[in-house]
Amino acid sequence: MWADREKDQGIAVSTASSPYLIQVAHRLADVSAAEWDACAGVDNPFTCYAFLSALEDSGSVGKGTGWQPSYLLLRGREDGVLWGCVPLYLKSHSYGEYVFDWSWAQAYERAGGAYYPKLQASIPFTPATGPRLLVAAVAPDPEAIRGALVRGLVALCRQLEVSSAHVTFPTAEDSACLAREGLLIRHGVQYHWENRGYHSFDDFLAALSSRKRKDIRKERQRAQSQGVRFLTLSGADLTARHWDAFYRFYQSTIDRKWGSAYLRRRFFDLLGERLGDRVVLVMGERESDGELVCGALNLRSHDTLYGRNWGADGEWKFLHFETCYYQAIDYAIAHGLRWVEAGVQGEHKIQRGYLPQTTCSAHYIAHPSFRTAVERFVEDEKAALSEDMAALATLGPYRQE
């Protein structure tokens, strides 16, 4: 049955009376880059055709990965125009999502159900908030199309007879639509740095308490005293040498953390070829011989730098903080970006200027009784998170005005 779902090429879930036809494409190649990006826009680096196609063409998603592309497409019934779409995957596990539902899966299966496969509307391996209900900029009624996409997602979940559908890290606008359509909204926390009009890193430091300012200066001095200089690479400056080294760092870090290397080596070549001007690759090289020793992969929009992956050869004191956090702040200030999103987890980011921000996800649970149980869980979790956020707010490093 799983194989049959993978082979299906034309699921239609809209009614004959609807002005739209909702279909599923199992290859991004079945959609043109122009029509996908007309819905996704060109600013968010993760929803654009170039990024998603690099994942698929490199084999990082697709057969054998547990991420089966199932892109939801909403076309005009009469004109065939693509008015909206959703980056959607049929999944056989919960890896690479960063919104953890393992306890839900275990409870569902203890009760005798099959939690997998499930539908996942997300950007694989990318815990960055962004649009998930992608609507063409020229659409006559964007809210109606968003609603139709959500209803199509729910209808597809029912048609495939899968346990659930999940939308992770949507924007506030998308979250509001998902809530109106009856999905459960769950909250989480990340740590982001905000550029408050700083003109230099010292300008940023001046906004901190004296002790925190001294701590950061010491960390930077210790990191940079190890004979490592930093390169910030984009576009044509990215070469196979840099990607070979970065992939080695990426694998080494994953091995130390007992994880899995989701991204294939070819993904990074394709990323550089297709989206190089949005890549900000920070590499550290040993001053004595030019050997590359660490790296942090970022992508950028017009106002945000998104930190994605990091790795290093060997153990280096404070190099992670310098490469991932402080070099990112330097870049954001120099290029007038407002935000740096440093990914998931890590209260240690607070003392380095990255403050807690609420994120969210949305969930459709097909089984009514299980939905009720999950709803209670989400409400309890929300109350606990509210208390945690209040406590975290007291830990910030900034001077009190």
pLDDT of residue 3: 38
Amino acid identity, position 73: L
Structural domains counted in the chain: 2
Residue 401 included in any domain? no
φ/ψ of 106, rounded to 5, equals: -65, -45
Furthest-apart CA pair in the chain: how many Å? Answer: 70
Residue 348 included in any domain? no
Identify whether residues 168 and 21 lie together within a single domain.
yes
Give the Cα separation of 96 and 98 in Å (integer): 6
Identify whether residues 200 and 333 lie together within a single domain.
yes
Identify whether residues 33 and 165 lie together within a single domain.
yes
Give the Cα separation of 125 and 271 in Å (integer): 14
pLDDT of residue 14: 56
Residue 344 included in any domain? no
Identify whether residues 133 and 225 lie together within a single domain.
no
DSSP assignments along 183-235, one per residue:
-EEEEEEEEEEE--S-SSHHHHHHTB-HHHHHHHHHHHHHHHTTSEEEEEE-G
pLDDT of residue 314: 82
Q: For residue 270, give both structure tokens.
A: 């394709």
Identify whether residues 25 and 158 lie together within a single domain.
yes
Identify whether residues 137 and 246 lie together within a single domain.
no
Identify whether residues 387 and 315 lie together within a single domain.
no
Identify whether residues 117 and 32 lie together within a single domain.
yes
Q: Which domain holds residue 210?
A: 196-337
Residue 350 included in any domain? no
Answer yes or no: are the C-beta atoms of 280 and 345 closer than 8 Å. no
Taking the chain (401 residues) in runs of 10, the rounded mean pLDDT of each run is 41 64 96 98 96 98 97 94 98 95 96 97 97 96 96 96 98 98 96 97 97 96 94 97 96 68 95 97 96 97 96 90 97 98 87 95 97 96 93 89 66
Strand, helix or coil at 56? Answer: helix
Give the Cα separation of 154 and 152 in Å (integer): 5
Helix (H) or strand (E) holding 273: helix 265-275
Identify whether residues 83 and 232 lie together within a single domain.
no
Identify whether residues 333 and 364 lie together within a single domain.
no
CATH number, domain with residue 28? 3.40.630.30
Identify whether residues 173 and 24 lie together within a single domain.
yes
Long-range CB pairs of 274-277, under 8 A, 24+ apart, other chains included: 274/50, 274/51, 274/53, 274/54, 275/45, 275/48, 275/50, 275/51, 275/54, 275/299, 276/234, 276/235, 276/236, 276/238, 277/234, 277/235
Residue 112 included in any domain? yes
Residue 83 included in any domain? yes
E-strand stretches of 71-122: 71-76, 82-86, 88-91, 118-121
Answer yes or no: are the C-beta atoms of 311 and 249 closer than 8 Å. yes
pLDDT of residue 328: 98
